[in-house]
Amino acid sequence: MPELHTTPLADRGESPAHSRLPSSALSAPPRPAERPSTAAFRRSQEGQRSRRESTRDLRHGLQDTLLTAATAAEAGRDADVRALLSVRPGDDSPSARLDALIRSALLARVDGDGEARGNLYAGDDRDEDRMIAAFALLAERTPLIRFGYAAANRAILAAAADAESLHIVDIGVGAGVQWIDLIDRLAALSGAGPRVRITGVDVPDAAGEVERALAELGLRLAAHAEARGVDLEFVGLARPIEAIEGFTRRPGELLAINASLALHHVDAGDGDVDEEDARGRVLCRLAALRPELLTLVEPEADHNHRELSRRLVGARRHYGLVFAILGEVLADDPAVRSALERGFFGREVANILAVDGAERVERHEPLARWQRRLSAAGFAPVACDRSGLGAELSGDGFALASRGAAVQLTWRGAPVLSFSAWKGAR
């Protein structure tokens, strides 16, 4: 609240005679002396307010410093970057924790630290069990994970309502949790659902761990489908999506392509919508398959820029929102919160800011740019049916918002994730 300033009466045009009165005559009547306990409480409140204002000023100052350091890093002034970043964030708020990770990413950039390069989740140092447990808790407490699965699976089942056979190509299948949900939805249908074939695509690794993981996923999904009475076939494909030319399509089979938090890893030419960049070529090849449906889930974020300062601003906006969510919903479990902030989202921040060129794989774009890309590639939007979706995505502060044919998950009014559905040109 701004300070209140009083103006002397003589300066406000009052009678000069008033200026001859004793100053005590112009002041407010004296208040009774405060009891020691009241005075101490007031001093405590004023001290807390002063500390909050000082922390806020320091935080804003640090954010300005981070942006200045990013500009210096772009210009190759490494010594200036190190000098600017000699001060560490001083509190444990979500914003300060994010600023600490941004600071580390900028230092890693000038130090040539290679840890943030390429596939962020294939290193030997991952505590995989802890991360799986952290994501399970995140899925339980928030709709951040469930939103994409629910929206996509509802759209897939709606498109395949009259189909006898359904082929789903999942780009970036990961642990395949989405398809456990789809199997359960198919089992709950009143009539017989379609036969389902899933091709799970994931980026290969030199050690062959991805191939083994895909084989294990196929066994888990087959067992779950059999237990639920669903006819399902799974094929794992360890290959970059950029290297895939097409998929075998069986007669009478409806084709749905699912891309949940995956296509932003494809190089995209630093933000220009261009059919000739790698992302544009991939989308054109997918459109040429003429799928009945493509489902896309992406963060509502903007990090695909050549300029480091623009990436920093975008990272603070998006991950500031994510860290605020984690700080609130996981306030009672700081270990899980820290695992997600540092072990997952922190790695994304590092890749966005510490790396350039082909090794920078976290290239998020906002919904409007994805819509332009997909339209340019030959896709047409499919309206998303929101009815009933909100009931599946309960969580304090979360809501759904329509954006044309798409739908967004918001938190306290700010968009976090976007879902859109498309069909290939016929």
- Burial class of residue 166, CB neighbours in 10 A (0-12, 13-18, 19+): buried
Q: What is the pLDDT of residue 10?
A: 35
Calpha distance 350→123 (Å, rounded): 15
Dihedral, 112, 118, 120, 121 alpha carbons, nearest 10? -140
| Per-residue pLDDT tens digits of the chain, which is 426 residues long | 433 333 333 333 333 333 333 333 323 333 444 444 555 555 455 445 544 443 444 445 678 999 999 999 999 999 999 999 998 877 889 999 999 999 999 999 999 876 666 555 554 445 666 767 777 888 888 899 999 999 999 999 999 999 999 999 999 999 999 999 999 999 999 778 899 999 999 999 888 999 999 999 999 999 999 999 999 999 999 999 998 877 888 999 999 999 999 999 999 876 565 667 899 999 999 999 999 999 999 999 999 999 999 999 999 999 999 999 999 999 999 999 998 999 889 999 999 999 998 889 999 999 999 999 999 999 999 999 888 898 888 778 999 999 999 999 999 999 999 999 999 975
Number of helices and strands in the chain (H, E) = 13, 9
Residue 84 near residue 69, CB atoms below 8 Å = yes
From the CB of residue 170, how many other CB atoms can be counted at a distance below 10 Å?
24
Calpha distance 406→386 (Å, rounded): 10
Q: Give the angle 328-329-332 at the CA atoms, nearest 5°.
A: 90
Q: What is the pLDDT of residue 374?
A: 96
Tokens of 420: 């859109």
Residue 364 near residue 266, CB atoms below 8 Å = no
Q: Give the angle 299-200-171 at the CA atoms, nearest 5°.
A: 30
Calpha distance 158→142 (Å, rounded): 25
Owner of token pair 């000038």: 110
Q: What is the pLDDT of residue 128?
A: 65
Residues 6 or more apart from 307 whose CB is under 8 A from it?
Answer: 74
Which domains are assigned to the chain? 58-117+307-322+331-361 (no CATH), 128-304+363-382+419-423 (3.40.50.150)
Q: What is the pLDDT of residue 42?
A: 52
Cα 118 from chain centroid (whole Å): 18
Residues 6 or more apart from 269 whose CB is under 8 A from it?
Answer: 277, 278, 279, 280
Q: Is the dihedral of CA 255, 200, 239, 105 positive or negative?
A: positive
* DSSP character string of 232-274: EEEEEEES-GGG-------TTEEEEEEEES-GGGS--GGG---
Q: What is the pLDDT of residue 40?
A: 52
Distances (CA, A) of 259 to 33, 320, 424: 69, 25, 14
From the CB of residue 85, how many other CB atoms can be counted at a distance below 10 Å?
21
Q: Is the dihedral of CA 364, 367, 368, 370 positive or negative?
A: positive
In the 8-state DSSP scheme, what is residue 11?
Answer: G
Buried b or exposed e, range 354-369, using 16+ CB within 10 angstroms: bbeeeebbbbbbbbeb
Best CA proximity match to 270, nearest among 260, 262, 259, 278 = 278
Single-letter residue type at 417: L
